[in-house]
Amino acid sequence: MNTENEKIKTKIDAEIVNSNTKMYTVSVKVTEAQTNAPVLKGKVIVTSKKGKIVGSGKISKDGTATITSSISRKDYILTVHYEGTKKYDESKTKIDFQSEYLFYKTSFYLWTAIIGAIIIMLYIIMLNSYIVTTTPTSILGIFTRQFLPYLSLEPVTSLILVNTDFIQILINVLVWVLIISFIVASVYATQFNPNLHNIIRKNVTNHSLFHNFFIYIVEIIMFITIFAVILEYVV
């Protein structure tokens, strides 16, 4: 009977071989460290960054185990642990794609910020648009004075924008930044295992920012509108 010191050393190789929007599959192979002969017995567990067990499986006759897990947050550092037996020593390895995750997390935040900024700036341009009538009046002015029964405007003849040149230039710059960053992200994605894409996307979009993006935009627009209405009457 083998003692603890006589256990055969093992090594473990693991990679994600499949994924979709909900699940991913880890393929594990355990071999003897010196001979590379397959280890045919034992259990393998997969844990998340926080140590939570996300999947487990037994080694089959060919020395491999296939483990399928649900995608959840913090799945970008996985520890794959062969527990060992009386004959074989335990071994561990990591599936670490934190750098890829952080790259796309940063990119998603950047894209969200740019899209949000463009929406808000377009709204500001709309508020600063002037409808040319007998007495040129801003769209905001028309909107706020609809509540006054004595307001009378001539038919609209044309629409001009005032004091928005800088905003329009900034929008153009942001659009180009968005396009270039999309291209960079697409090129970067070709450099690593494509089966990681779904996991990264799910981990990133699980953040509340993306779930509540439009709510935040509406709240900001409401604040801008209220502030602009106050200025319209005060200034």
| Structure-token pair, residue 64 | 């491999």
Lowest-pLDDT range of 13-17, 78-82, 165-169: 165-169
* Domain-embedded: residue 60: yes
Cβ neighbors of 123 (< 8 A, separation 6 or more) are 221, 224
Report if pTM > 0.95: no
* Domain-embedded: residue 145: no
Section 100-104 average pLDDT = 87
Contact 120, 126 (CB under 8 A): no
Instruction: Please check whether residues 110 and 218 belong to one and the same domain.
Output: yes
Rounded CA-CA distance 234/72 in Å is: 51
Residue spans of beta strands (DSSP E) within 39-163:
43-47, 53-58, 64-70, 77-82, 91-96, 129-132, 137-138, 158-161
Instruction: Please check whether residues 62 and 83 belong to one and the same domain.
Output: yes
> Residue 157: its pLDDT value, please?
40
The string of pLDDT tens digits covering residues 28-54 is: 999 998 998 999 899 999 998 888 888
Cβ neighbors of 131 (< 8 A, separation 6 or more) are 137, 138, 139, 142, 153, 156, 159
> Residue 114: its pLDDT value, please?
93
Section 48-71 average pLDDT = 88
| Structure-token pair, residue 20 | 């979709």
Rounded CA-CA distance 167/125 in Å is: 8
> Residue 147: its pLDDT value, please?
45
Section 198-203 average pLDDT = 81
* Domain-embedded: residue 180: yes
Instruction: Please check whether residues 17 and 108 belong to one and the same domain.
Output: no
Instruction: Please check whether residues 55 and 111 belong to one and the same domain.
Output: no
Instruction: Please check whether residues 10 and 23 belong to one and the same domain.
Output: yes
The string of pLDDT tens digits covering residues 148-192 is: 444 333 444 444 445 567 778 888 899 999 999 999 988 988 888
Nearest CA to 96 among 14, 40, 27? Answer: 14
Instruction: Please check whether residues 115 and 75 belong to one and the same domain.
Output: no
Residue predicted with more confidence, 123 or 234: 123
* Domain-embedded: residue 11: yes
Q: Is the pLDDT of residue 70 over 70?
A: yes
* Domain-embedded: residue 146: no
Contact 22, 16 (CB under 8 A): no
Instruction: Please check whether residues 22 and 105 belong to one and the same domain.
Output: no
Section 100-112 average pLDDT = 89
Residue predicted with more confidence, 85 or 127: 85
Give how many domains the chain has, as a whole number. 2
Which domain range does residue 109 map to? 100-128+163-234
Rounded CA-CA distance 145/24 in Å is: 57
